[in-house]
Structure 1
Amino acid sequence: MSAGGPPTGDGRRLWELDVLRGFALLGILLVNAELMAGPDTVSGGGPGAPAPDRIAAWLVSALVATKFYLLFSFLFGYGFALQMRSARHAGADFAPRHLRRVLGLFGIGIAHAVLLYPGDILTTYAVLALVLYGLRGLAPRTALRLAAGLVAGLGALLLGYGLLIVALTDPAAVGEHAPRAADAVAAHRGGPAQVPAEHLRELPSAFATALLYAPNKLAAFLVGLAAAKTSLARRHGRDRAWLRRVVVRWLPVGLAGGVLSACCTDGPLDDRWFMVGKAVAVLTGPALAAAYACGLLLLLDVMRPAATGFLAAAGRMALTHYLTQSLVLAWVFTGYGLGLYDRVGSAAVLLGCLVLYAVQLALGARLAARTRYGPAEWLLRTITLARRPGRPEPAGRSVSHPADEPKSVA
């Protein structure tokens, strides 16, 4: 099953990006599910929790957290370059298109944050997309240098702050587990009116966290932009020797960093080391994200066509799947539905995520066989183009071939 649209010179490249995006959905789901399930789930329940829950939370921290949103951010930057190219081919002015897209993405993100999950990433992407527009003229090498500087700067800031906490905090004063706010737990389990009200109370903290880690996301945007300008996917996406070198070089670095980070954030080190762990994750997360991406591309030749088709179909409709994940998780954990907030262990959440992801892949493939856009992609594309997708451009503009219109990477 082909999910990449009509064949073009870029057809395989876009299809491979869809596969990566579909794969990244799993990592985003695992992290968001832990956060939406409640503080006990994020931490694995503390030292007294069952071993499966502590192991599950530790593994998500080591292997997933901060890695998959970097992959999504890289694809967003890559897609930004494709959107510029699409507008040029269509004879359209890119700036109005981009502004409409940003406003649409921001609006969807605000609704998502208030109604479903205050840790929404779409609003951050929308704001950073404006910054990326201002940096669109950077040469690839300059963009990569700026990206490296942003990651190094944020990592140094977090590491310095973390080491100060370690040095100045009395170990005897460190609690084993942060106390839960009973009112917040009750609000999440409360009625449909209480849930968005609680989300609104959490938004300032969520936005502050998003602002802190914004340089990391912008760096991934810039790497994606540089990759698109140098046609990296077309030149190396099927180059097995190059892909293997990336995996061999960066997988050990990423795994070592993930293990050290998880030791700091999820034990055995105490809470004083939390920010040090976050710094390590920022500095080494890109290595593991790159190894994951190149490793998956290496596997494409041995994977069954149906499996890659499922991933590609999910990647084509990543925004719809992302919002659907939040909708299901909100129904499970909040007062919208089952109200299981802070009542489910990490292992059960992890297993549930795998089931949900499998269902999404199956249903997404069926939807992709019937239509080109998912509901959220259709809405965002309508806002971006200021017309319904598939309708001709206004008079005076040339109409590009459908294959020239890149898939959404939001």
Structure 2
Amino acid sequence: MSDRTENVAVSGESAPPPRLLNVDALRGFALFGILAVNIWAFADPYYASPSSNPTFDSGLDHALRFVVALLFETKFYLLFSFLFGYSFTLQMAAAERAGTAFVPRMLRRQGALLVIGLVHGAVLYYGEILSTYAVLGLALLACRGMPPARAIKVGIGLVLAVGVVWMLLGLAQLAEGDAGGTPSSDVTAKLVGFGGDAAATLGFHSGHLPSTLAAVAALQAPSAMAMFLFGFAAGRLRVFADPDGYRPLMRRILLLGLPVGLTGAVAYALAAAYAPGGGLETFAFGLGQLTAPGLTASYVVAALMLFQTVRGGRIERALAPMGRIALTNYLLQSVVLGVLFTGYGLGLVDRLSPPVVLAVVPAVFLCQAEMSRRWLRRHRYGPAEWVLRAATLAAIPPWRAR
């Protein structure tokens, strides 16, 4: 029995359509951006502190902080959120092919994602977002009957509301004379936790998880929900199944979204790199929340065009294995960064210069890309994807690819 037939027999589904390589490749691209942001939470104890790192002793250090804030921060979790919304429609289609009720499948899937996320946050990375996705996925489940046009309007409303609220908070801080803060006590706690043994690192992650989940709910959840809705609308319209049919729209997105997105990104990056911790950064963060979806959409369009034009889809095929097992790779990134920077391994927190930290990103990513390609030669799913699919189907999926 072929792997395709075996999978159909296990899941009860009719033969699924071919995978969308562009969606998998976009997930792989998103993993690169997420790694470029998350690595600083491991390597730099001052990251997300009210004060910039006082050990940054050169213009290059600050320039790299500016570039990361400009191109990566607040952009790639939005891309992942958008793809989550798109994949939600693929799950709907899979349930329809299988002739099974969609809601129980999705409840099981989100429950499993919540468990994975909480374990990930308590053990490997206190700043994790999977548990937030699990909860927001239930809200998307309630909106599953929403027409695409209405989903887009609700998403735009969320983006506007979030941006305006943060900008007003920034103005209030400035009116009170809050120009910046001093390093928080979390800096010392992270140095102790990551520079100690494995038990110290575990204690830091588990102890900071509740406060971080609250921060993620305030800082990222509303924008993530907006991108869920945008992705859901794109999935209902099957945009990635027929990207050529949306070329005029994609050109308009680049012409409008790129300059608008970069304007907000520059404002946020300048504040984050050179005036952190006060009302100016809060105001710039709000402006960035208004414009970041435009830059993220421009990334999507530019990537799709690149996939179609560079040497017959070579980049798309190279990134697709990473995205096909994106959940496993996301968790693996936390494992690798934990071994490098915390008490789980080398404890290199605050010991590498910013250029060296940034150089680690492509090295880790390229290793993951090659490992993903090799893994999928013999396995149909990544380990985390296999667990998530087993929970979704309430059945045991095939482990090996035949």
Aligned AA (1:229): R
SS of the aligned residue for 1:141 comes to helix
Equivalent in 369, 374, 399 of residue 366 of structure 1:
374
Summarize deviations over 1:72-105 as a string: whole Å, max 9, x none: 1111011111101101110111111111111110
Amino acid at match of 2:23: L
* SS of residue paired to 1:348: helix
Contact 2:174–2:278 under 8 Å retained in 1: no
Which deviates more from structure 2 when the two are superposed, residues 264-273 or residues 49-58? 264-273
- From 26, 29, 32, the counterpart of 2:38: 32
- CA 1:113–1:219 in structure 2 vs 1: closer, same or farther (change >3 Å)? same
Please tell me whether the aligned partners of residues 261 and 280 of structure 1 are also in contact (alpha carbons under 8 angstroms).
yes
Aligned mates of 1:33, 1:368 — CA distance in 2: 26
TM-score, normalization: structure 1?
A: 0.88
Q: Do 1:165 and 1:272's aligned partners in 2 also have CA atoms closer than 8 Å?
A: yes
Shift in Å at residue 49 of structure 1?
2.1
Among 196, 199, 210, the residue aligned to 1:204: 210
User: What's the offset of the Cα at 1:237?
Assistant: 5.0
DSSP 3-state at the match of 1:301: helix
Instruction: Kindly provide the amino acid, as one letter, of the partner of residue 16 in structure 1.
Output: N
8 Å contact kept, 1:195–1:334: yes
Q: Which amino acid aligns with 1:353?
A: V
1:268 deviates by: 5.3
The question of whether the paired residues in 1 share the 8 Å contact of 2:36 and 2:361 is answered with yes
> Which of 243, 247, 271 is equivalent to 2:250?
243
What is the distance in 2 between the residues matched to 1:261 and 1:237? Answer: 34
Give the Cα–Cα distance (whole angstroms) in 2 for the partners of residues 133 and 237 of structure 1.
Answer: 29
> Is residue 382 of structure 2 the alignment partner of residue 378 of structure 1?
no
Separation of aligned partners in 1, 2:216 and 2:183: 24
CA positional deviation for 1:205 = 1.8
Q: Report the counterpart of residue 280 of structure 2 in structure 1.
A: 273
8 Å CA contact retained: 1:68, 1:289: yes
Worse-superposed segment, 50-59 or 122-131: 50-59
Which letter maps to 1:272? G
Work out whether residues 275 and 281 of structure 2, in 8 Å CA contact, stay in contact via their aligned partners in 1. Answer: no
| CA–CA distance in structure 1, aligned partners of residues 301 and 320 of structure 2 | 16
Q: Could you tell me how far apart the structure 2 residues matched to 1:150 and 1:96 are?
A: 28
Structural RMSD (CA) = 2.4
Cross-structure match for 1:186: 192
The number of equivalent residue pairs is 384
1:333 & 1:306 partners in 2: Cα distance?
33
Contact 2:307 2:315 in 1 (8 A): no
Partner residue of 1:323 out of 327, 331, 339: 331
What residue is the counterpart of 1:296 in the other structure?
303
Aligned partner of 1:312 in structure 2 is 320
Measured at CA, do residues 40 and 126 of structure 1 come closer, stay the same or move farther in structure 2, by a change above 3 Å?
A: same
What is the identity, as a one-letter code, of the residue corresponding to 1:117? Y
Gap change, CA 1:180 and 1:386, over 3 Å in 2: closer
Q: Secondary structure at the match of 2:46?
A: helix
Pick closer, same or farther for the CA change 1:170–1:113 going to 2, 3 Å. Answer: closer
The whole-number CA distance in structure 2 between the counterparts of 1:267 and 1:283 is 21
What residue in structure 2 maps to residue 65 of structure 1?
73
Does residue 338 of the first structure (1) align with residue 342 of the second (2)? no
**What amino acid maps onto 1:362 in structure 2?**
E
Name which of 254, 257, 265 aligns with 1:258: 265
Instruction: Give secondary structure in 2 for the equivalent of 1:373.
Output: coil
Give secondary structure in 1 for the equivalent of 2:240: helix
Pair 59,44 (structure 1): closer, same or farther in 2 beyond 3 Å: farther
Tell me by how many angstroms 1:363 deviates: 1.6
Structure 1 spans left out of the alignment, 5+ residues: 392-401, 403-410
In 2, distance between residues paired with 1:235 and 1:214? Answer: 30
Q: Measured at CA, do residues 208 and 107 of structure 1 come closer, stay the same or move farther in structure 2, by a change above 3 Å?
A: same
Unaligned runs of 5+ in 2: 1-6, 8-14
Task: Provide the residue aligned with 1:147 in structure 2.
Answer: 155
